């Protein structure tokens, strides 16, 4: 009897121990989490696992079960303490569905929808400080950023960000080197390194700039940054991650315009910029994507009725001295009237205008003709303490607001602000300050000599465009003319994806620099097509007045009608640095632009948008040589088009 009782008790304890083990297992902190897109194609996998005695917080990204980002490190160092290594899981908030429709004032598609899933994961550092990883998953990509909470009034410093992007190496990359040259200023005007090995290092040792384009594992993918609110510098990338993975890098210490340190400094609560990965099966997924805009806060401007995208002429490109000549500027006002363009830009030096009038007189002449005047300004970056007030006018809040009020009251419509010259945090803070004050005075803004777009156009829709590109103004050197076609066929897939691009395109003349003429190598049809291929809310056509007024009827009419804001944009065909065929819709009218990046004759084939099938129109094409147009009537097409191009050629058309 005693033996039977002992056996029963042993069985009871075995069952009890087993049940406890099950309960303990069920309550154990999970080591991995997964957030899927609404269509289940994209998966963000977050892991917190022990490797060699250290717990690392990592992530990976999958598209339809294909690895897009291999396991990559997460985390940062704030106030010399680790946030990520040896972190403990605290909680995962419920998944939140975001569907937010909004309208931009310029861009590739002005009516758009931020449609994604978001989840916030909270961890505790080894010192017991909580931090968040905020993750969003879209049907065509992912984004994440760090949230650092706290109620103290102290300033905190992030010494390093560990974020890596372990892109699979079996493919190619198209990346612009971080713009480091003898001037030591990041103006994002380097040529793209095309079809290079993934994870290869940049020769100058300063790393790479966003955005980064990849073709890997049968996927197309872009990595970039979004949302700069002034609490962080703009960042770029180097190859210091594990096994050469791309890793976040702060600005260069020796960017000389300001002596500031490069580490971000802010009070809590603090949110870092978004790290964004766009991914899909084809290039059109990259081309059409608007994630950079989605990841920014909504517009802060209540009445946006005064904000109008538009086209402009500009006398500086052909002959900078015309800026000083009142009568010459009147000629460019008349050019915009003739072409139906909305604006005229007066570049640096307008304060010294002579020969019968001043800038104010140009505005008085332009206003009754319906032409808005834009003015050039230096950003004042690095000049905050200059004893000459005019040199720091845009960096001094009181001077800036007074000047904006003055020019707005006389009728000026926009400002082109140039030479920011650093990605350090203090200079990044200048962007929203300028945009807000400009909005308060109903002024549109072109950020020239500026950092790469990170989505300001959603919060401040008066921001029409940003340079951050080696544009037409550099074509005064022959070697740049020789490389222009390849460059033009690259940036629609890289730089222009992330925001409007102030390239100042459509230049038929040869630019003269210091008395030396640089010979254009692209065809005139290639140049015409850039009005569609390149997207900019302030599309500044840079050539001399005579070049546009002497155009044949159909190319001239094309430039009269082409828009600067689009209801829809799509890539019809193309490959980075090879060629691009782009269609953009304004209302019910489609505009087609195609360019070749190769110095060889070729034939390009593509299919028109469905809405264009069965319609008749005329394509403006290459003529007998690079300086002539020809015309190709297209009737009752089934949508499939073949066009023969000259070396560095192009074509353009309007379909109603």
pLDDT at residue 636 in the model: 75
Residue whose entry in the numeric block shows the structure tokens 């490389």: 483
- Nearest Cα to Cα of residue 604 among 631, 562, 640: 640
User: In whole angstroms, how large is the CA radius of gyration of the chain?
Assistant: 27
Q: Name the strands in the sheet holding 444-447, side by side, starting at the edge strand that comes first in the sequence.
A: 463-466, 444-447, 414-418, 372-378, 343-346, 310-314, 538-541
Contact (Cβ atoms closer than 8 angstroms) between residue 470 and residue 477? no
Q: For residue 374, what are its two tokens?
A: 């834009």
Q: If we measure between CA atoms, which residue out of 138, 131, 446, 176 comes closest to residue 293?
A: 138
The model's pTM: 0.94
pLDDT at 8 over 90: no
pLDDT of residue 6: 43
Listed residue (280, 358, 369, 364) closest to 326, CA to CA: 358
22: pLDDT strictly greater than 60: no
Q: Which residues of 389-409 are buried (b: 16+ CB within 10 A; e: fewer)?
A: eeebbbbbeeebbebbeebbe
- For residue 151, the model assigns a pLDDT of 85
| Fold equal for 32-294 and 310-554 | no
Pairwise CA distance, residues 584 & 569, whole Å: 4
Which is more confidently placed, 135 or 638?
Answer: 135
List, for residues 338-376, the tens digit of each pLDDT value: 999 999 999 999 999 999 999 999 999 999 999 999 999
Given the candidates 3.40.50.2300, 3.20.20.70, 3.40.50.620, 3.30.70.270, the CATH classification of the domain at 310-554 is 3.20.20.70
Over residues 282-294, mean pLDDT: 98
In CATH, what is the architecture of 32-294? Distorted Sandwich (2.70)
**What does the block give as tokens for 596?**
């070749």
CA angle centred on 616, ends 613 and 621, rounded to 5°: 105
Q: What does the block give as tokens for 506?
A: 């459509």
Q: Summarize the confidence of residues 489-510 as an average pLDDT.
A: 98
**How confident is the model at residue 16, as a pLDDT?**
44
Percent of the chain having pLDDT more than 70?
95
**pLDDT for the residue numbered 181:** 79
The three-class DSSP label of residue 624 is: coil
- Interval 565-591 mean pLDDT: 98
Give the residue, 213 or 51, on which the prediction is more confident.
213
Closest alpha carbon to 376 in 396, 409, 357, 353: 353
Q: Cα separation of 450 and 454, whole Å? A: 11
Domain boundaries, given as residue ranges, for the chain: 32-294, 310-554
Q: Each residue of 89-102: pLDDT tens digit?
A: 999 999 999 999 99
pLDDT at 18: 43
Best CA proximity match to 497, nearest among 534, 446, 461, 463? 534
Burial class (CB in 10 A: 0-12, 13-18, 19+), 111: exposed
pLDDT score of 402 more than 80: yes
Close Cβ partners of 266 (under 8 Å, ≥ 6 residues apart):
155, 156, 231, 232
Q: Mean pLDDT, to the nearest integer, of 62-72?
A: 97
- Position 4 scores a pLDDT of 42
At 53 the pLDDT is: 86
Alpha-carbon span 390 to 400, nearest angstrom: 10
Rounded Cα gap, residues 215 and 202, in angstroms: 18
pLDDT tops 50 at residue 15: no
pLDDT of 212 higher than 60: yes
Residue 384 clears pLDDT 60, i.e. is over it:
yes
């Amino acid at each position: 009897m005693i033996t039977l009782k002992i056996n029963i008790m042993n069985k009871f304890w075995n069952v009890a121990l087993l049940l406890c083990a099950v309960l303990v297992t069920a309550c154990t902190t999970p080591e991995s989490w997964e957030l899927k897109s609404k269509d289940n194609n994209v998966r963000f996998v977050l892991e917190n696992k022990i490797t060699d005695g250290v717990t690392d917080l990592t992530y990976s990204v999958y598209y339809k079960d294909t690895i897009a980002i291999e396991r990559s490190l997460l985390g940062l160092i704030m106030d010399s303490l680790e946030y990520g290594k040896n972190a403990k899981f605290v909680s995962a908030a419920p998944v939140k569905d975001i569907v937010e429709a909004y309208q931009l004032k310029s861009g590739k598609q002005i009516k758009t929808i931020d449609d994604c899933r978001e989840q916030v994961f909270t961890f505790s550092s080894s010192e017991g400080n909580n931090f968040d990883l905020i993750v969003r998953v879209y049907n065509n990509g992912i984004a994440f950023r760090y949230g650092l909470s706290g109620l103290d009034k102290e300033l905190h410093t992030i010494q390093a960000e560990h974020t890596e992007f372990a892109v699979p190496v079996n493919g190619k990359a198209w990346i612009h080197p971080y713009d480091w040259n003898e001037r030591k200023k990041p103006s994002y005007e380097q040529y793209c390194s095309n079809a290079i090995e993934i994870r290869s290092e940049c020769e100058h040792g300063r790393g790479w700039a966003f955005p980064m384009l990849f073709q890997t594992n049968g996927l197309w993918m872009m990595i970039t940054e979004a949302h700069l609110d002034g609490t962080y510098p703009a960042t770029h990338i180097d190859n210091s991650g594990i096994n050469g993975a791309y890793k976040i890098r702060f600005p260069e210490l020796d960017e000389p315009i300001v002596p500031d340190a490069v580490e971000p400094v802010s009070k809590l609560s603090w949110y870092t910029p978004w790290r964004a990965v766009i991914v899909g099966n084809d290039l059109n997924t990259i081309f059409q994507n608007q994630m950079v805009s989605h990841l920014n806060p909504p517009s802060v401007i209540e009445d946006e009725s005064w904000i109008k995208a538009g086209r402009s002429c500009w006398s500086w490109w052909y002959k900078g001295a015309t800026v000083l000549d009142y009568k010459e500027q009147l000629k460019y006002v008349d050019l915009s009237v003739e072409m139906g363009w909305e604006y005229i830009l007066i570049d640096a030096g307008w304060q010294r205008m002579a020969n019968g009038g001043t800038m104010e007189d140009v505005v008085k002449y332009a206003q009754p003709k319906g032409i808005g005047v834009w003015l050039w300004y230096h950003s004042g970056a690095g000049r905050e303490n200059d004893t000459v007030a005019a040199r720091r006018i845009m960096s001094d809040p009181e001077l800036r607001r007074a000047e904006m009020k003055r020019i707005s009251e006389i009728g000026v419509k926009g400002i082109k602000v140039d030479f920011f010259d650093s990605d350090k945090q203090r200079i990044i803070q200048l962007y929203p300050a300028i945009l807000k004050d400009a909005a308060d005075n109903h002024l549109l803004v072109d950020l020239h000599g500026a950092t790469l777009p990170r989505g300001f156009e959603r919060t401040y829709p008066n921001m029409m465009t940003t340079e951050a590109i080696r544009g037409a103004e550099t074509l005064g050197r022959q070697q740049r003319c020789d490389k222009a076609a390849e460059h033009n066929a690259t940036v629609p897939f890289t730089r222009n994806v992330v925001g409007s691009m102030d390239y100042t395109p459509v230049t038929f003349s040869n630019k003269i620099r210091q008395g030396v003429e640089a010979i254009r190598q692209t065809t005139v049809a290639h140049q015409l097509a850039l009005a569609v291929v390149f997207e900019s809310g302030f599309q500044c056509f840079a050539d001399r007045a005579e070049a546009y007024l002497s155009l044949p009827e159909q190319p001239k009419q094309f430039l009269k009608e082409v828009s600067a804001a689009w209801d829809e944009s799509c890539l019809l065909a193309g490959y980075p640095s090879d060629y691009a065929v782009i269609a953009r819709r304004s209302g019910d009218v489609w505009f087609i632009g195609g360019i070749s990046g190769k110095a060889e004759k070729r034939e390009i084939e593509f299919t028109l948008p469905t809405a264009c099938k069965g319609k008749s129109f005329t394509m403006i094409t290459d003529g007998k040589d690079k300086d002539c147009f020809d015309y190709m009537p297209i009737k009752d097409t089934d949508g499939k088009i073949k066009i023969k191009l000259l070396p560095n050629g192009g074509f353009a058309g309007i379909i109603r």
